[in-house]
């Protein structure tokens, strides 16, 4: 047999990859026994045995060699397949058609073949075969394989996941994309539903624009696919038994979501546009800050509820609030996982990259104290920030989602002009979040058809960009044409849908979404939380019972290897009962938590050092010095309640916003955030200004969150002296919150204990001490705890020596003890010292009673540690003037005006403090 005949034989179809092992075994058997195979194979193997190759003394391994050569000729080898496949998996999103305003995507994909892979013509004809998800995948040739990969990875979704380091997670993502990302799986019925949602989105915007042309509405146009995306997230989630949805979003598209997703009746929105909505007697807010709450029905059966939370113009600050609300819901459900809750955060692209709160929430998203099982993030990517569209000016990274890589989150870049891609992204996001309990990001890349708001002319700053947008067809036009071409709908039917939608708006009715039988009905949330009736501690517990609780939380098992200082602290606490000693601050504070926990009231305390206490006073968590194991004495007092002691991430803004959210609809948990030092609250001022102090006035939304802010001048410098009392007092109005400066252990006990029982919900700001924590003068007896109550004012305590008072000094906080100690030391008793423990609401009646009682005293002073332009002085001065109708001129004692809260030099501090005391006691 000549060589040409040999080659012809080996090009026959029976020698191929599929038959490889089967032929090899038959040939081996044939060499042993010619009759072991049938006539067909016998003839083939005889030819093979007598071939020219066999004459060259090539044994049975020759068949292996020939088969391998044929496989190489006909099929691309596995190594090359994987190389190509991995390239698309890792880099496909870079070449995907995700930007509606850029049309050079075909050239990019062409470059893949020519420039990156440098394929020759013979390669393009090779067959492809490999396994995916235990299924054989076969392609006619490499060209078909490349087309398939481009449809999966370079179409209208860019899948970015190469940064994820967990192998199983990456494999799941790859299988999901390669098995499920196909538009063929979207039913005709679903396509019509998607179109209905798009029509609703666009028709609403055009209707509002024509009805209220000069009003801001922050239109969704250009990212209309958000509406069907939200419908699909809700629909898919309900099928998986998720039933609580918490949405946080800024202005862009908010009105559209309120009407089309949450079912807000359009007449209510129109009243807000016309400024005729008088339901809220408070100051209220602009319409695109409002929230709304709805029940979700499927086929008339309630399936869950959806909440769009109120949000100020500090765009991204709503996100940690959403996290806090979601975490409270999880804790209240007593669930082992987050499978009932879906937090949805909708961002703007420029705000997402520009505002540091995003980094903060991502950093704490997977921590035990603040985790919520992941959120679905949707970035409404307009490719412009206000008037800035140059990416280099907006951020330092290529994609707006690059920050999400810090937590190894899956990122989907979606072309907003393709609603079906948005539909798939919504479905995948729910499945991913359900599977991995992690955040997922959908970068919905569209454009902004109008200016930043409808009053702006975007051509002024972006003439070229807006020329493109002006000539660019709307999402509705693009998708309608597609379905018309597929003969699923006609223009007449589409026009009818638009007219029907407009009619409902004209009638001021609620929009009924025609999507998977979803329906949304308004629900009312009672922001005035129902709380348990307040009963004094002595009426609630017998003396024997309360002492038993105190012993339980301060008795430590002998098996714990205690730190010597901690052992001494707990030993001293037991002496309160055993040896009738006094409560120090830490003992009283922990005791307040224990009494609440014993009554079924949960306690959540968070902050950067709360378990130990920044100033080494709390020790709510004790660590074994050998094993490192935790022991929590307060858990002994739990009775149908929960205790959360969370040493937070090193953040103030996100953590305080989280705790505010946690407290919003929570009547059974004492929620506390403690600043490491009081001035650290400066970083969370947005939360304090926009939520804590004003949410009741703006949105009729109440919170019982407590802020513990360590404050006091001990010569530690400008950064750790002042918690900025003046700022909080400036924010006080209409009894929106309480501002207190307790100076004894019993005062902090009663303040914490009674707060949860107030009939009205309000935040509580406590300026807590530092050096006073261990000052014996601030300690309290058992009777003061058991029989006492919180005192808004503490009057003169040294009445044992009767003298005619010539001077009254009002003060608050630590300075009181310095004045008292100096007065006693110098035997000066003609000066009355009065502590104001509650600055707001101001105890007017009690103050007037004192002034009237001592009306003969004309020398009335206010003494403070803080500079004159800071602290409570200006507030006190104005309040006294109004209170006494300018009849009493209260005078100031303290530091002079300063732009800095305190000196950084301890010697100067000491001299300043001595001067204040001397001036105060000088008659």
Q: In this structure, are residues 881 and 783 in contact, taking their beta carbons and an 8 Å threshold?
A: no
Most confident range, picked from 38-47, 470-479, 507-516: 470-479
Residue 444 has pLDDT above 60, yes or no: yes
Q: How far apart are CA 317 and CA 289, in angstroms?
A: 12
Residues 495, 447 share a domain: yes
What are the residues whose beta carbons fall under 8 Å from the beta carbon of 744, sequence distance 6 or more? 778, 779, 780, 784, 794
Q: In this structure, are residues 449 and 222 in contact, taking their beta carbons and an 8 Å threshold?
A: yes
Residues 82, 66 share a domain: no
Under the banding of pLDDT at 50, 70 and 90, the label for residue 777 is: very high
**Which runs of E-coded beta strand occur in 270-337?**
292-298, 301-308
HEC string for 645-658: EEECCCCCHHHHHH
What is residue 119's predicted lDDT score, i.e. its pLDDT? Answer: 63
pLDDT tens-digit profile of 6-43? 444 444 544 544 455 667 777 778 887 878 888 777 77
Q: Is residue 780 in some structural domain?
A: yes
Q: How far apart are CA 146 and CA 826, in angstroms?
A: 93
Residues 382, 344 share a domain: yes
Residue 284 has pLDDT above 70, yes or no: yes
Q: Per the structure block, which two tokens stand in for 527?
A: 């922001």
Q: Is residue 119 in some structural domain?
A: yes
Under the banding of pLDDT at 50, 70 and 90, the label for residue 286 is: confident
Query: Minimal CA–CA distance to 522: which of 260, 294, 244, 247?
Result: 294
- Listed residues 755, 786, 817: the one ending a domain: 786
What is residue 144's predicted lDDT score, i.e. its pLDDT? Answer: 81
Cis preceding linkage at 584, omega within 30: no
Q: Per the structure block, which two tokens stand in for 557?
A: 């098992």
Q: Is residue 491 in some structural domain?
A: yes
Q: In this structure, are residues 816 and 833 in contact, taking their beta carbons and an 8 Å threshold?
A: yes
What is residue 529's predicted lDDT score, i.e. its pLDDT? Answer: 56
- The secondary structure of residue 680, as a DSSP letter, is G
| Count of Cβ atoms closer than 10 Å to residue 819 Cβ | 22
Residues 117, 52 share a domain: no
| Count of Cβ atoms closer than 10 Å to residue 282 Cβ | 12
What is residue 122's predicted lDDT score, i.e. its pLDDT? Answer: 65
Number of separate domains in the chain: 5
Q: Is residue 428 in some structural domain?
A: yes
Q: How far apart are CA 181 and CA 418, in angstroms?
A: 14
Residues 881, 748 share a domain: no
pLDDT averaged over every residue in the chain: 88
What mean pLDDT do residues 410-421 have?
97
pLDDT tens-digit profile of 639-694? 989 999 999 999 999 999 999 999 998 888 999 999 999 999 999 999 999 999 99
Q: Phi, psi (5° rounding) for residue 54?
A: -70, -35
Using a 10 angstrom Cβ sphere, with 0-12 exposed, 13-18 middle and 19 or more buried, the burial of residue 715 is middle
Terminal alpha carbon distance of the chain: 130
What mean pLDDT do residues 83-109 have?
84
Lowest mean pLDDT among 129-138, 685-694, 890-899: 129-138
Please report, rounded to a whole number, the percentage of residues in the chain having pLDDT higher than 70. Answer: 88
Residues 88, 16 share a domain: no
Q: Is residue 516 in some structural domain?
A: yes
C-alpha pair distances (Å), 129 with each of 19, 132, 137, 140, 155: 14, 10, 6, 9, 23
Q: How far apart are CA 468 and CA 98, in angstroms?
A: 16
pLDDT tens-digit profile of 231-262? 999 999 999 889 999 999 988 999 999 999 99
- Listed residues 522, 539, 570: the one ending a domain: 522
Q: Phi, psi (5° rounding) for residue 374?
A: 90, 150
What region does 503 belong to: left with phi over 0, alpha with psi -120 to 50, or beta? alpha
Query: Minimal CA–CA distance to 816: which of 708, 712, 676, 922?
Result: 712
Work out whether strand 341-348 and strand 376-381 pair parallel, antiparallel, or are unpaired.
Answer: parallel
Q: How far from chain centre, in Å, is Cα 632? A: 28
Q: How far apart are CA 665 and CA 23, in angstroms?
A: 72
Q: Per the structure block, which two tokens stand in for 373?
A: 């099982």
Residues 847, 705 share a domain: no
Using a 10 angstrom Cβ sphere, with 0-12 exposed, 13-18 middle and 19 or more buried, the burial of residue 55 is exposed
What is residue 115's predicted lDDT score, i.e. its pLDDT? Answer: 62
Residues 353, 250 share a domain: yes
Please report, rounded to a whole number, the percentage of residues in the chain having pLDDT higher than 90. Answer: 64
Residues 108, 40 share a domain: no
Q: In this structure, are residues 376 and 412 in contact, taking their beta carbons and an 8 Å threshold?
A: no
What is residue 248's predicted lDDT score, i.e. its pLDDT? Answer: 96
E strand or H helix at 918: helix 906-921
- The secondary structure of residue 688, as a DSSP letter, is I
Residue 780 has pLDDT above 90, yes or no: yes
In degrees to the nearest 10, what's the CA dihedral of 827, 829, 831, 837?
90
Residues 724, 712 share a domain: yes
What is residue 26's predicted lDDT score, i.e. its pLDDT? Answer: 79
Residue 923 has pLDDT above 80, yes or no: no
What mean pLDDT do residues 574-578 have?
92
Q: How far apart are CA 610 and CA 616, in angstroms?
A: 10
Q: Is residue 162 in some structural domain?
A: no
E strand or H helix at 151: helix 142-153
Domain range for 264 is 186-522
What is residue 27's predicted lDDT score, i.e. its pLDDT? Answer: 77
pLDDT tens-digit profile of 519-543? 888 887 765 556 677 888 988 899 9
* Dihedral sign for Cα atoms in the order 237, 243, 246, 252: positive
| Count of Cβ atoms closer than 10 Å to residue 565 Cβ | 9
Work out whether strand 602-607 and strand 643-647 pair parallel, antiparallel, or are unpaired.
Answer: parallel
For tokens 């939370």, the residue is 309
Under the banding of pLDDT at 50, 70 and 90, the label for residue 801 is: low
What is residue 222's predicted lDDT score, i.e. its pLDDT? Answer: 94
Lowest mean pLDDT among 156-160, 173-177, 269-273, 623-627: 269-273
Residues 82, 70 share a domain: no
Q: Per the structure block, which two tokens stand in for 420?
A: 């079906």
- Listed residues 522, 539, 563: the one ending a domain: 522
Q: How far from chain centre, in Å, is Cα 300? A: 32
Q: How far apart are CA 680 and CA 157, in angstroms?
A: 42
Q: In this structure, are residues 251 and 288 in contact, taking their beta carbons and an 8 Å threshold?
A: yes
Q: How far apart are CA 218 and CA 583, in angstroms?
A: 57
**In sequence order, what are the beta bridge partners of 377?**
345, 441
Q: Is residue 560 in some structural domain?
A: no
Residue 428 has pLDDT above 70, yes or no: yes
Using a 10 angstrom Cβ sphere, with 0-12 exposed, 13-18 middle and 19 or more buried, the burial of residue 465 is middle
Residues 302, 198 share a domain: yes
**In sequence order, what are the beta bridge partners of 412?**
159, 442
Q: Domain with 909 in it: what CATH number?
A: 3.40.50.11610
Under the banding of pLDDT at 50, 70 and 90, the label for residue 454 is: confident
What is residue 601's predicted lDDT score, i.e. its pLDDT? Answer: 94
Q: Is residue 237 in some structural domain?
A: yes
What is residue 136's predicted lDDT score, i.e. its pLDDT? Answer: 66
| Count of Cβ atoms closer than 10 Å to residue 825 Cβ | 9
What is residue 527's predicted lDDT score, i.e. its pLDDT? Answer: 55
């Amino acid at each position: 047999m000549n060589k040409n005949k040999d080659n012809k034989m080996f090009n026959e179809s029976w020698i191929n990859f599929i038959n490889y092992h089967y032929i090899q075994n038959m040939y081996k058997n044939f060499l042993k026994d010619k009759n072991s195979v049938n006539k067909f194979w016998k003839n083939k193997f005889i030819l093979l045995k007598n071939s020219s190759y066999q004459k060259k003394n090539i044994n049975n391994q020759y068949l292996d060699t020939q088969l391998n050569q044929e496989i190489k000729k006909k099929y691309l080898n596995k190594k090359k397949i994987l190389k190509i496949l991995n390239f698309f998996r890792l880099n496909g999103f870079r070449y995907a058609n995700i930007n509606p305003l850029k049309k050079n995507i075909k050239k990019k994909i062409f470059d893949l073949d020519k420039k990156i892979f440098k394929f020759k013509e013979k390669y393009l004809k090779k067959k492809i075969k490999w396994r995916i998800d235990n299924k054989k995948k076969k392609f006619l040739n490499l060209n078909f394989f490349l087309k398939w990969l481009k449809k999966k990875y370079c179409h209208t979704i860019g899948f970015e996941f190469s940064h994820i380091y967990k192998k199983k997670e990456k494999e799941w993502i790859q299988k999901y994309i390669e098995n499920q990302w196909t538009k063929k799986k979207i039913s005709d019925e679903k396509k019509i539903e998607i179109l209905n949602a798009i029509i609703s989105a666009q028709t609403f915007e055009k209707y509002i624009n024509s009805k209220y042309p000069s009003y801001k509405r922050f239109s969704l146009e250009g990212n209309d696919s958000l509406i069907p995306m939200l419908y699909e997230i809700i629909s898919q989630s309900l099928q998986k038994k998720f039933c609580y949805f918490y949405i946080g979003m800024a202005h862009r598209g908010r009105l559209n979501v309120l009407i089309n997703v949450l079912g807000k009746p359009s007449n209510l929105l129109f009243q807000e546009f016309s400024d005729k909505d008088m339901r809220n007697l408070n100051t209220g807010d602009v319409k695109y800050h409002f929230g709304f709450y709805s029940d979700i029905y499927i086929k008339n059966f309630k399936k869950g509820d959806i909440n769009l939370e109120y949000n100020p113009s500090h765009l991204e600050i709503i996100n940690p609030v959403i996290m806090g609300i979601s975490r409270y819901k999880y804790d209240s459900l007593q669930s082992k996982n987050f499978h009932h809750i879906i937090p949805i955060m909708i961002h703007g692209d420029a705000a997402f990259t520009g505002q540091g709160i995003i980094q903060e929430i991502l950093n704490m998203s997977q921590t035990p104290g603040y985790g919520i099982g992941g959120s679905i993030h949707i970035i409404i990517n307009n490719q412009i920030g206000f008037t800035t569209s140059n990416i280099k000016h907006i951020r330092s990274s290529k994609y707006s989602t690059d920050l999400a890589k810090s937590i190894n989150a899956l990122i989907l870049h979606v072309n907003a002009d393709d609603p079906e891609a948005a539909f798939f992204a919504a479905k995948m996001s729910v499945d991913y979040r359900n599977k991995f309990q992690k955040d997922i990001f959908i970068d919905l890349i569209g454009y902004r058809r109008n200016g930043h708001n409808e009053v702006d002319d975007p051509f002024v700053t972006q003439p070229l960009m807006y020329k493109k947008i002006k000539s660019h067809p709307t999402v509705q036009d693009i998708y309608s044409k597609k379905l018309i071409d597929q003969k699923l709908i006609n223009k007449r039917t589409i026009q009818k849908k638009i007219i029907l939608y407009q009619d409902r708006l004209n009638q001021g009715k609620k929009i009924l979404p025609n999507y998977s039988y979803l329906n949304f009905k308004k629900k009312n949330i009672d922001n005035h939380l129902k709380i348990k009736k307040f009963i004094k501690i002595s009426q609630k517990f017998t003396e024997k019972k309360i002492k038993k609780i105190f012993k339980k939380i301060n008795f430590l098992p002998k098996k714990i290897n205690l730190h010597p200082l901690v052992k001494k602290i707990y030993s001293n606490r037991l002496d309160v009962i055993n040896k009738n000693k006094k409560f120090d601050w830490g003992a009283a504070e922990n005791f307040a938590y224990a009494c609440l926990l014993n009554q079924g009231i949960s306690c959540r305390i968070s902050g950067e050092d709360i378990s130990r206490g920044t100033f080494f006073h709390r020790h709510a968590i004790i660590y074994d010095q050998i094993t490192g194991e935790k022991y929590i004495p307060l858990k002994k007092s739990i009775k149908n309640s929960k205790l959360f002691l969370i040493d937070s991430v090193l953040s103030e803004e996100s953590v305080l916003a989280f705790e505010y959210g946690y407290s919003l609809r929570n009547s059974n948990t004492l929620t506390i955030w403690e600043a490491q030092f009081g001035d650290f609250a400066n970083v969370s001022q947005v939360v304090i200004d926009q939520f804590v102090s004003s949410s009741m006035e703006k949105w009729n939304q109440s919170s019982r969150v407590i802020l513990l802010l360590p404050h006091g001048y001990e010569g530690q410098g400008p950064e750790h002296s002042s918690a900025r009392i003046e700022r909080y007092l400036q924010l006080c109005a209409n009894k929106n919150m309480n501002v207190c400066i307790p100076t004894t252990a019993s005062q902090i006990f009663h303040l914490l204990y009674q707060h949860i029982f107030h009939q009205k919900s309000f935040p509580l700001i406590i300026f807590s001490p530092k050096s006073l924590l261990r000052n014996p003068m601030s300690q309290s007896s058992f009777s003061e705890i058991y029989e006492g109550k919180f005192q808004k004012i503490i009057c003169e305590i040294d009445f044992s020596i009767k003298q005619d008072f010539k001077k009254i000094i009002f003060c608050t906080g630590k300075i009181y003890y310095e004045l008292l100690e100096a007065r006693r030391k110098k035997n000066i008793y003609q000066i009355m010292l009065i502590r104001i423990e509650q600055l707001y609401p101001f105890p007017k009646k009690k103050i007037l009673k004192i002034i009237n009682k001592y009306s003969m005293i004309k020398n009335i002073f206010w003494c403070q540690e803080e500079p004159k332009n800071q602290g409570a002085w200006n507030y006190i001065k104005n309040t006294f003037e109004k209170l006494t109708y300018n009849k009493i001129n209260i005078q100031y004692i303290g530091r002079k005006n300063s732009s800095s809260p305190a000196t950084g030099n301890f010697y100067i501090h000491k001299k300043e403090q001595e001067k204040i005391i001397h001036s105060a006691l000088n008659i």
